[in-house]
Amino acid sequence: MSEQYVEMNRLAWDQRTETHFKSDFYDVPGFLAGRTSLREIELAEMVPVAGRRLLHLQCHFGLDTLSWARLGAHCTGVDLSSVSIEKAKYLNEQTGLNARFVRSDVYHYQRGPEPPFDIVFSSYGAICWLPDLVRWANIVAANLVTGGTFYLAEFHPFHNLVSGYQYFDSEKPDIENEATYTENGSGMTATMATWSHPMSSVINALINAGFVITRMNEHPFSPYNCFDGLEEREQGRFYFSHLGQDAPLVYTLTGKKAG
């Protein structure tokens, strides 16, 4: 990826993180008081994590990473933003959860001498920042033990399409100056580069990197109120109606690294 886009996104995420950390959306005080930041979808679908080595790619400021750590996982979180990683390390210290946080572009992440992970996890608003899914899937595979699990919970590309983005893979990024999605975010804008990816590209990249896809689900709600026009019909479930019908808002994939 052009370093110019990585740098643009890093600066934007540094700025967003300062806002997100103070938001009700992320509810840091609630997390520190013991609440999980994980949502019903991943809590229901993930493999057991207790005692397992878990790599969280694009961990933002670590709430989900540390929530998996509270469930007994030995966690490493990786993110591009230095502000995110500083705040994740602060929360790690506050909670004494003994996770590791590494500032790195996903594409340059080096595990070092430690063994590969049992689980790689990534979620909600991750792959739109990645131009090359083939490289990404190979990095996921390279960091997993044989038989290890990759779990992805991601926003559904159908919603991108109805929001005016292209559905199929984009070589050129969308460059936009936009506010962030937290309730306190309207005052800040940042210029960011994103790439569209249909589900077939995600799945094929993983298959070609040596994964067997063991489950795929689509959900008609988002656990986050992060798009315009969502309706909370049940607590924590935000729906989007398209031409009178429920749109798919989240998809999840579970893959096993084949031997």
Instruction: Write down the least CB distance from residue 59 to ligand SAM, Å.
Output: 7
Query: Which residue stretch of 5-13, 163-171, 200-208, 238-246 sits at the interface with ligand SAM (rule: CB under 6 A)?
Result: 5-13
Near ligand SAM by CB under 6 A, which window of 38-46, 79-87, 205-213, 232-240? 79-87
76 binds ligand SAM (CB under 6 A): no
Q: What residues from 210 to 239 belong to the interface with ligand SAM (CB under 6 A)? A: none
- For ligand SAM, the closer of residues 101 and 158 by Cβ is 101
Distance separating alpha carbons of residues 167 and 181, to the nearest angstrom: 21
Task: Return the number of the residue (129 or 211) whose C-beta is nearest ligand SAM.
Answer: 129
Q: By CB under 6 A, tell whether 9 contacts ligand SAM.
A: yes
Instruction: Judge contact between 206 and 233, C-beta under 8 A.
Output: no
Stretch that binds ligand SAM, among 45-53, 73-81, 163-171, 249-257 (CB under 6 A): 73-81
How far apart are alpha carbons 203 and 218 in whole angstroms? 14
From the number of C-beta atoms within 10 Å of its C-beta (0-12, 13-18, 19+), residue 5 rates as middle
Stretch of residues binding ligand SAM (CB under 6 A), selected from 124-132, 195-203, 204-212, 213-221: 124-132
Cα separations (Å) of 164 from 54, 174, 184, 228?
35, 11, 24, 13
The rounded distance, in Å, linking the Cα atoms of 21 and 16 is 9
Candidate list 126, 141, 209, 253; residue touching ligand SAM; CB under 6 A:
126
* Residue of 67, 76, 84, 252 interacting with ligand SAM (CB under 6 A): 84
Applying CB under 6 A, among 101, 117, 121, 129 the residue interacting with ligand SAM is 129
Task: State the nearest-atom distance from the C-beta of 243 to ligand SAM, in Å.
Answer: 28
Nearest to 45 by CA among 258, 199, 252: 252
DSSP 73-106: -EEEEEES-HHHHHHHHHHHHHHT---EEEE--G
Residue for token pair 């080096």: 110
Q: For residue 105, state whether it binds ligand SAM (rule: CB under 6 A).
A: yes
By CB under 6 A, name the one of 38, 80, 152, 209 that touches ligand SAM: 80
Q: Is 256 helix (H, G, I), strand (E, B) or coil?
A: strand
d(CA 240, CA 245): 8
Question: Which residues contact ligand SAM by CB under 6 A?
Answer: 6, 9, 13, 58, 60, 63-64, 79-81, 84, 105-106, 123-126, 129
